[in-house]
Amino acid sequence: MRSYKNTADTISTVGSMLLFLLFAVCTMMIIVTAAGSYSRINDNYTTDFTASASIRYLSNKIKSSEKVELSENGMILQNGVIANIIYFSDGGLYEKTVAAGSEYELSGGNRIFELSGVEIKETEELYKITVNVGEKTSSAIVRKGTE
Amino acid sequence: MKRSTKRPLNLFFIEMIISLLFFSISGAVILSVFAGADKKSRAGETLENVIVFSQSVAEVYSLNGDYDETMKIVTSECGKLDDKIIITKDEEKSENAAGTFSKLTLIFTENGRRIYDFTCAAYVKNGGSDERT
């Protein structure tokens, strides 16, 4: 009788510990899965947002400018007596406003987006904007304005 | 007497079964929620790509007013969309003495589900010059 009770107690104790272990393992698995899933979703969202927002930003800047001049690291957008210089440097897209026709340096601008690279090409009637954010490359075409 | 000695063990097994059931259900619910969130994230990415693609199509189409030429330029410059995405077009053209007015509607579907549609237009003057629309 006593032996049976001891065995039952042992099984109950070991079983409780196993149950707790199972709970801990399940909780850990769910936390790890949740962290991975959240991280992936967050990275994708940040990448997509940065890529599309930077393309739209550049498109709108080009469309709203009277004169667009492409340079090695970006472009110069002229509106009357003001020129906006948008350039890529040090892993980011920067913008700087200067007086049109004045001397300028590609430093001291406002950082707008964190990017891996920007390329703006010009054809006869179009501009092609290519933006690299991490491993993602996104391209868009913008029609030239009537200068 | 015999009945009372068996009771703790039976209670323990019932407790264990209920706990396992609870963990299983919780795990299944949580994993399905994560899968749903991941699916929505991918759908958002696809939609973002489609919108940027559409923007390029609208820009090029406003220049030439020709769907085939537009798609040729856009796919060569910006790349193709995912193969799962099917584009259905509806193009209308009306000509007059001065030029041709074209209206293009594109419907993007993925696995039979309509994800985005947009309309753009172009007016191309006779002789090749055009006006922004």
Residue B101, pLDDT score: 92
Alpha carbon B26 to chain centroid, angstroms: 30
Establish if B55 touches chain A: CB-CB under 8 angstroms: yes
ipTM greater than 0.90: no
Establish if B37 touches chain A: CB-CB under 8 angstroms: yes
Among left, alpha and beta (phi > 0; psi -120 to 50; other), residue B93 is beta
- pLDDT, chain A, mean: 87
> 87-126 in B: which are within 8 Å (CB) of A?
none
Name A77's bridge partners: A68, A84
Q: Is the pLDDT of residue B133 over 50?
A: no
- Looking up tokens 């040090």, which residue turns up? A90
Shortest CA gap B112–chain A (Å): 24
Residue among A34, A51, A143 whose CB faces B59 most closely: A143
Task: At A62, give phi and psi (nearest 5°).
Answer: -65, -45
In this prediction, residue B9 has a pLDDT band, given cuts at 50, 70 and 90, of low
| Arithmetic mean of pLDDT, A85-111 | 88
Vertex B78, ends B75 and B81: CA angle to 5°?
Answer: 65
For residue A114, what are the domain limits? 2-143
Residue among B23, B38, B49 whose CB faces A41 most closely: B38
Distance between CA B44 and CA B129 in Å, rounded? 38
In this prediction, residue A55 has a pLDDT band, given cuts at 50, 70 and 90, of very high
Please write the tens of the pLDDT for every residue from B36-89.
988 998 899 899 999 999 999 999 999 888 899 999 999 998 888 888 999 999
Establish if B56 touches chain A: CB-CB under 8 angstroms: yes
Q: Is the pLDDT of residue B5 over 80?
A: no
Distance between CA A142 and CA A70 in Å, rounded? 14
Judged by CB atoms closer than 8 Å, whether chains meet at A141 and B78 is answered as yes
Q: Is B14 exposed, middle or buried (0-12, 13-18, 19+ CB in 10 A)?
A: exposed
Distance between CA A60 and CA B65 in Å, rounded? 22
Alpha carbon B116 to chain centroid, angstroms: 7
How many domains is chain A built from? 1
Please write the tens of the pLDDT for every residue from A61-78.
998 888 898 987 889 998
